[in-house]
Amino acid sequence: MITFGQFKDVVTTSKLSAGGISEPSLDEKYIRHFNKWLTSGYHAEMEWMKRTRDDRLDIQKRFPWVKSILVLLDNYFSDPISAKNGIKISRYVMGQDYHSVLEEKMSSVLLGLKNIDGKINGKIYVDTGPFLEKAYAEQASLGWIGKSGMFIGTGIGSYCFIGMLLLSIDIQPSGVAINRCGSCMFCIDQCPAGAIIEPGLIDSNRCISYMTIEKKGNFSDAERARLDKWVYGCDVCQEVCPWNRKWSKLTPDSRYMDRKNQIQKYIELGNTGNIDKFTMVFKNTAIERLKFKRMQRNMNTALQ
C-alpha cells in the first residue's frame, strides 16, 4: 500500500503546486448545492451539466473501480495584460493550453506511483470529466470553495488549475479544509455582473465568464452592458479576494504565460475579422476552443 508520505514525494517531484487525497464519495452538502444550482436554472445553456448529473454526484457509477482520488493543484498566476484599449482577458489563458501542460505533469505523478506499486490503475482528468472538481479539492484538504464559487488553494489562492487522478488503490484521505472566507463580501459586492446570488451560488446567465466562453449566439442589450470589456473570462472576483492578495505569486511554469505578449498585441489591434491571425495567435491555447466567431463577437462588443 502506498503511504501518504510516498504520495507527497511523488507530487513534489512533479513540480505541481499541491496535492491531496479525497475519498470517491461526496459529502451531502455538495450534492444539495449542485442540485439547487441546477433546479434554479443557474447552469444556463450548459445542458450537459444536467445530462451528467448522476455521474457528477456519484463518481463510482461510471468508475466503480475507483478507491481514492488524488487531487492536484497548479498555480497559473501572472500579471494581467494592460491593453491600451482597455480590453481584458482572464489570466488563465495567457499561455499554452493548460489541459496539456497539467496532464503532462500528472502523467509523471501516475508513473511515479506505478513505480512504487505496478498494480495501480489510474486515469487522469483535467476539466474534461463529469466531476465536481472543487468539491473533491476541498475534501482533499487543499483549500476551500469561496463565496465567489472559486476554489481557493491554501497558500496558493484561487489562480490555480485543478486536476483529478482517479486511483484503484486506497490511500488515507487528507481531511477537509476549513472555509476561511469569514465575513468578507468583496467578491459578491464587486462582481460587475451581479452573478453571485448568494455565497458560493453563481448564476451563469449573468456571469461574464459564462457569457464570453459558453454562451452561443448574440448578446442581448443587457448582456452587452454587463461585459465590461472582458472578451474571454473574467477575473474580478479573484482580483478583489484578500487571500489572493496575500498568497498569489508568479507561476514558476512559464508555459502558463508564454503567449501574453502575442495576445496583448492581438487585443490592441482589434482586428476582429482576421481568422488567420486568430488561428496563429491562439493555436494550442485554451482560447482556441472558443473558435473565431465567438471571439469576433466578444471583441466587437468590447470595442463598441
Does position 163 have pLDDT exceeding 80, yes or no? yes
Position 298 confidence tier, pLDDT thresholds 50, 70, 90: very high
pLDDT at residue number 174: 87
How many whole angstroms separate alpha carbon 190 and alpha carbon 160?
A: 21
Q: Which one is catalytic: 27, 55, 58, 127?
A: 127
Outline where DSSP puts E strands in 45-142. 68-75, 88-89, 122-125
In this prediction, residue 138 has a pLDDT band, given cuts at 50, 70 and 90, of very high
pLDDT at 39 over 90: yes
Question: What's the predicted TM-score (pTM) here?
Answer: 0.96
Question: And the C-alpha cell for 240?
Answer: 478583489
pLDDT digits (tens, 9 = 90+) for 96-122: 999 999 999 999 999 999 999 999 999
Q: Identify the CA nearest to 93 among candidates 277, 249, 230.
A: 230
237 near 150, Cβ under 8 Å? Answer: yes
How many C-alpha atoms does 200 have within 13 Å on its Cβ side? 16
Which CA distances in Å does 78 have to 93, 157, 237, 239, 258? 10, 12, 16, 12, 10
> What is d(CA 273, CA 255) in angstroms, rounded to the nearest whole number?
28
DSSP state of 157: B
Residue 4 has pLDDT above 80, yes or no: no
Q: What is the pLDDT of residues 197-220, one digit of tens each?
A: 999 999 999 999 999 999 999 999
Q: Is the pLDDT of residue 153 over 90?
A: yes
272: pLDDT confidence band, cut at 50, 70 and 90? confident
5 pLDDT more than 90: no
**Whether 127 is catalytic:** yes
- Do residues 135 and 170 touch, judged by C-beta distance below 8 A? no
> What does the domain layout of the chain look like in residue ranges?
4-80+91-167, 186-303
